[in-house]
Amino acid sequence: MKGTCKPVWALALIVCVATFFAPGGVAAQSEVVKIGYNAPLSGPAAAWGLPGLEGVGIWLEEVNGAGGIKAGDKTYQVEIVKFDNEGDAGKALLGARKLILEDKVVAMLMLGGAESAVVQPFVTKEKIITFVLIASDIAKDRPYLMDVTDNFPVYHLLHTEYIGEAYPKAKKAAILSQDGEIGVAAIAWSEAGFDAAGIEVVYSKPFGMDTTDFAPIVTAALATKPDILSMGASYPEFQALILEQAYTQGWKGIITSACWDFKAITAKVPVEWMQGAVSGFPDFDDPKLSKTQNEFYAKWQAKYPDHGFSEIVWEYMGGLEVWKFGVEKAASIESEKVFEALKASESVPHAFGPGVWWGKEVFGVDNLLVPNWPITEIRSGKPAIVAQKSLADWLAKPGNKDILFKCLAKWKLK
């Protein structure tokens, strides 16, 4: 439920990062480069912003501890300047103006969604590269906006394809997601994925952003007798409440979502009830990931032993990794030069393998970095990689593009 109180771990983290990221916390160097962190650190979307500071902090320790970033003949220590936009578009614009005009950041990390429409005209004017976690924010009139980590909502096509293959008896799906840019995008892309997989969508009515009682909404969805319950891109605080109702009302079936706040969910429902739930983000100790990802997870777990891992821990840090790659390629920290170096690269490193640029045929510009995407199921209380899926393969199947464009048009997204 919405409220102003933050959990103890969140308050402790804010105090920690406020100290660590402050100018006095950066080692004395002749050159410092600043990156803006304009994300929700409080409010209902805080779990899509606050945990990212954990991964960013580990990245800073490693990069700055190793001497900084090399750009041509200069070396820079990296400083993160954070702004809590509370998931509010107007506040995100205030944050962007402060970070760019006052703090002189050369790049910005954001969640995205409704904020992008408000922030991007200013960011475009200032020519500041911005990394978001929402691919559907990408547009021709937002040339410096890029999604280099999350691939949301594109990966819904792949989650649903996997469900159709792994669970051929599942024929009906209900989608529950909030009535906002992020929630509606998840519904549209999920509908396309289910349709292509031969699965009927029997419920997909968005719920209000101010919803606190999910009993009637879940009751209405379950009345359609779904075999699959998709939470689309429900905010983390909504997920636990939705699934608590589904469990209480005795529903059993396949659960899927863009991502999990798994610790919050299993405080409401038994871990065993979530067995087999499908998503696309493994914990980074998964043996099918690289040694680098496994080592990052070990460092994170040692530093935050009481926290649940989510993809957010990695994703903002993943944006910094791509930015660093671009800086080294460009031999410069200048935003335009870094952007050009990234777009000139045929392949860019991604946590899930080499990524290629895509998006023009849907978003108008190839600013989405796409790797082969992992599919996970909850196994023994943890997400584990069970398959990998290719967007290029999905798009190449006869009829799939037509289905996608039809669903995007239905929800006025294309």
What sign for the dihedral angle of Cα 119, 53, 370, 156? negative
Residue 100 lies in a domain: yes
- Backbone region of residue 86 per phi and psi (left: phi > 0; alpha: psi in -120 to 50; beta: other values): left
Nearest to 373 by CA among 260, 258, 211: 258
**Average pLDDT in the 136-160 region?**
97
Same domain flag for 330 and 197 = no
Same domain flag for 385 and 247 = yes
Same domain flag for 255 and 395 = yes
Q: CA 256 to CA 173: how far, in whole Å?
A: 10
Q: CA 109 to CA 226: how far, in whole Å?
A: 37
Under a CB-based contact definition with an 8 Å cutoff, are residues 249 and 219 in contact?
A: yes
Q: Could you read off the pLDDT of 195-220 as tens digits, one per residue?
A: 999 999 999 999 999 999 999 999 99
Under a CB-based contact definition with an 8 Å cutoff, are residues 310 and 262 in contact?
A: yes
Q: Is the pLDDT of residue 11 over 60?
A: no
Same domain flag for 203 and 320 = no
Same domain flag for 244 and 178 = yes
**Average pLDDT in the 280-295 region?**
96
| Cis before 51 (ω within 30) | no
Q: Could you read off the pLDDT of 215-227 as tens digits, one per residue?
A: 999 999 999 999 9
Nearest to 323 by CA among 113, 63, 137: 63
> Sheet holding 382-389: strands in order across?
200-203, 172-175, 228-230, 254-256, 278-279, 373-379, 382-389
- Measured CA to CA in angstroms, residue 112 lies from 180, 226, 243, 343, 373 at distances of 12, 31, 25, 20, 21
Q: To which residue do tokens 């989608």 refer?
A: 175
> Is 252 exposed, middle or buried (CB count within 10 Å of its CB: 0-12, 13-18, 19+)?
exposed
| Residue 358: CATH number of its domain | 3.40.50.2300
Range of the domain at 244: 156-279+373-410
State phi, psi for 376 to the nearest 5 degrees: -120, 150
> Is 340 exposed, middle or buried (CB count within 10 Å of its CB: 0-12, 13-18, 19+)?
middle
> Is 243 exposed, middle or buried (CB count within 10 Å of its CB: 0-12, 13-18, 19+)?
buried
Q: Which pLDDT belongs to residue 30?
A: 54
Q: Could you read off the pLDDT of 358-379 as tens digits, one per residue?
A: 999 999 999 999 999 999 999 9
Q: Could you read off the pLDDT of 46-87 as tens digits, one per residue?
A: 999 999 999 999 999 999 999 999 999 999 999 999 999 999
Report the predicted TM-score, pTM, of the whole model to 2 decimal places. Answer: 0.90
Residue 284 lies in a domain: no
How many domains does the structure of the chain reveal? 2
Q: Could you read off the pLDDT of 302-355 as tens digits, one per residue?
A: 999 999 899 999 999 999 999 999 999 999 999 999 999 999 999 999 999 999
